[in-house]
Structure 1
Amino acid sequence: MKKKPIIIGIESSCDETAVSIIQNRYVLSNIVIHQYIHKKYGGVVPELASRLHDKNMIIAVHKSIHSAKIKKNEIDAVSFTLGPGLIGSLLVGASFAKSFSMGLDIPLLTVNHIQAHILTHFIKNSNINNYCPKFPFLSLVISGGHTQIVKVDDFFQMKILGSTLDDAIGDTFDKIARILGFHYPGGPMIELFSKNGNYKKFYFSKPLINGLNFSFSGFKSHILQFIKNKLKKNPLFIKQNISDICASIQRTIAEILLEKMQKATLKTNIFRIALAGGVSANYEIRRMFISFAKKNKKWEIFIPKKEYTTDNGAMIAITGLLKYEKKLFDNIYVSPYSKFKEF
């Protein structure tokens, strides 16, 4: 019997050096090395990120191969993130993947980072349902750098229906967190404090954006002005109300996302929804989507397990495997790109 192909996936688009090995859609290993040093700078420093990728890449690959309990010459192809992302970080991953491909004389598979987040759902047991969504479905991609509604007709047939006109949702969380005095990354801190808060305590108006696009810059400015006005009257306002502020902000953002997806389902008549990206780990967003799906029987909701929400090598490896099965190979002359390209 012919052996199922083994694919290694390399992700280095931002500040996580992530390597995973997949066979038959099962994850054999999933190693992520985090770059915690960026916390003291209040955000990711691109040059520092690329240097740390260079230092961590070989370590992550060795750990992944060891954890998968295979030998490197058993790997059938190498996949890696081509873009979008930080160009220096992407170049580190691309250079290593190309060398790995040439050294073992195995195919090279390039991966679009956003597609990979969506295709995470085709890893075995990767979402809360423990089964894959059927085509077509809608994906809400929410991360530090992206906020998009994508219509997915097949593995590599995707169309963007809506996107952010300015700030991405994850970046919005972090910027609002900075206003509240939290250190980077601030999104998880807002979630943490919101758990003991009353989301009805404060009202924040939602951006009025036509169609399926998003805009968060005005919302962020509204929060800033709200906080400034309150602090003028009471310098201890944030400290005394932090949990309620966080709960109210988080609830409003979750409602914005849910309302847009309701519009998308009515426009497309597609009621299978798959969340993807780092912000899909947020408890309130997950809770609201699950709750809405329970009340609206047409909806079928797919949410990744938390280890597959943030950037990881498994999403790169599964995309690589799906391309391998279709023989969609690439050559070593491909160049990484920093800005988003159409699928």
Structure 2
Amino acid sequence: MSVILAIESSCDETSVAICNNGKITANVIANQTIHQNYGGVIPELASRVHQQNIVPVIHQALLNAKVNKNELNAVAFTQGPGLLGSLLVGVSFAKSFALALDLPLISVNHMHAHILAHFIDDPKPEFPFLCLTVSGGHTQIVLVKDYFDMEIIGETLDDAAGEAFDKTAKLLKLPYPGGPLIDKHAKDGDPLMFKFGEPQIRDLNYSFSGFKTSVLYFIRDREKENPNFIAENLNDICASVQYSIVFILLNKLKKAAKQLGIKEIAIAGGVSANSGLRTGLRDLANEHNWNVYIPAFEYCTDNAAMIAMAAHYKYINKEFVGQGIAPLSRMEF
């Protein structure tokens, strides 16, 4: 039996979850709206707001789970990757909280946790499975052999898919965060109206820097001809951009599934909330007889429930860290 309190503070969401013997009983998230004024996350502001949010969010999570702090068996936290100042707030609080209550500490890799979010609810994937993990900072195809035996078999060589969405939204003068707004406008547009450059990358790796440049030049050239081009074609531009990014992502995933003969397929990370990606994955599942796993929306973006679930399996293995905390390797899994 284990009751674990988990803290996620890698970017601009302050989140705390409670995992009771493998079941998530609370998942509280405090968003930071201040970054909308700047068109992106300001690291210094993010860390300051985390300091303001972390105590009330922990208090609310304990209330929601109907758990007293003295009933906790461990404290987990995101150690990385993420914004240094934001991570420090979560790590420092976790260390202090655990020290005061004489509890073991569990460090969690943020990307590892995104994958293990699939074990929060049913149905759960069977090992081995492939997980396409897509967010603002990462794009990876991961071969998941076990809870802690994972291999990155493909990843972006430069920019992430989520960044391609966000930068395109900025070009289209959409407010931050722009990714969800592209998804919204795309529903009313023609995905085949405009064509953009498709990266020619070997193996299972990705590249989105050239794609972003293609969109930039496309909009620049069209606006020279028609200053109102964006306003008159916003839905079609969004639909075409989304279609292109989703096609690039799923084309490599389909290639990986064929090479490895795997039909258990999952997606994770913030971009897995995108409706175009979800629909495209389901279409491929019907075509190739895949079993597809897509997290609930609240477990796609950054959240502490996924940190708690990863910590649950680490607790079983007694994988604890000391107050000194050993450095977290990028290739922990």
1:83 maps to which of 80, 88, 101? 80
Would you say 1:101 and 2:92 are equivalent positions? no
Q: Does 1:301 align with 2:298?
A: no
Instruction: Please say if residues 191 and 247 of structure 1, whose CA atoms lie closer than 8 Å, have aligned partners that are also in contact.
Output: yes
AA in 2 matched with 1:8: L
What SS is found at the alignment partner of 1:207? coil
Aligned to 1:235: 227
Q: Report the alpha carbon displacement of residue 71 of structure 1 after superposing the two structures with TM.
A: 0.8
2:162 to 170, 173, 181: 170
Q: Which runs of 5+ in 2 are unaligned?
A: none
Q: What TM-score do you get using the length of structure 1 for normalisation?
A: 0.95
Name the amino acid aligned to 2:146. D
Of residues 138, 143, 158 in structure 2, which corresponds to 1:146? 138
> 1:11-30 alignment to 2 at 5 Å?
11-30=8-27
The TM-score with structure 2 as length reference comes to: 0.98
Give the structure 2 partner of residue 311 of structure 1.
302
Contact between 1:138 and 1:149, CA under 8 Å: does it hold in 2?
yes
- CA offsets, 1:158-213, max 9 Å, x none? 11101111111111111011111112211011011111111111122311111111
Residue 341 (structure 1) shift: 4.0
**Cα offsets for 1:193-246 (capped at 9, x unmatched):** 111111111122311111111000100000111111111111111111100110
For 2:214 and 2:248, the matched residues in 1 are separated by 15
Counterpart Cα distance in 2 of 1:342 and 1:320: 14
Residue 223 (structure 1) aligned with residue 220 (structure 2): no
How far did 1:336 drift? 6.3
8 Å CA contact 1:90–1:336 kept in 2: the answer is no
The match for 1:321 among 306, 312, 318 is 312
Counterpart check, 1:265 vs 2:257:
yes
Q: Which runs of 5+ in 1 are unaligned?
A: none
SS in 2 for 1:175: helix
Q: Which amino acid aligns with 1:37?
A: I
- Report the CA distance between 1:342 and its aligned residue: 4.5
Change (3 A) 1:342 1:328: closer
1:109-133 deviation line (CA, Å, top 9, x unaligned):
000000000000111x2xxxx2111
Counterpart of 2:268, as a letter, is: A
Structure 2 distance, partners of 1:335, 1:329, is 10
Residue 185 (structure 1) aligns with: 177
Please say if residues 83 and 336 of structure 1, whose CA atoms lie closer than 8 Å, have aligned partners that are also in contact.
no
CA RMSD of aligned residues (A): 1.2
Q: Alignment partner for residue 255 of structure 1, among 221, 233, 247?
A: 247
Q: How far apart in 2 are the matches of 1:15 and 1:340?
A: 21
| SS at 1:247 equivalent | helix
| Number of equivalences | 333
Is contact 1:143–1:170 with CA below 8 Å preserved after alignment?
yes
Q: Is the 8 A contact 2:104 2:320 kept in 1?
A: yes
Q: Distance in 2 between matches of 1:66 and 1:218?
A: 48
2:75 and 2:103 in contact (8 A); partners too: yes
State how far apart, in whole Å, the 1-side matches of 2:124 and 2:317 are. 19
Note if contact 2:109-2:332 (Cα within 8 Å) is conserved in structure 1.
Answer: no
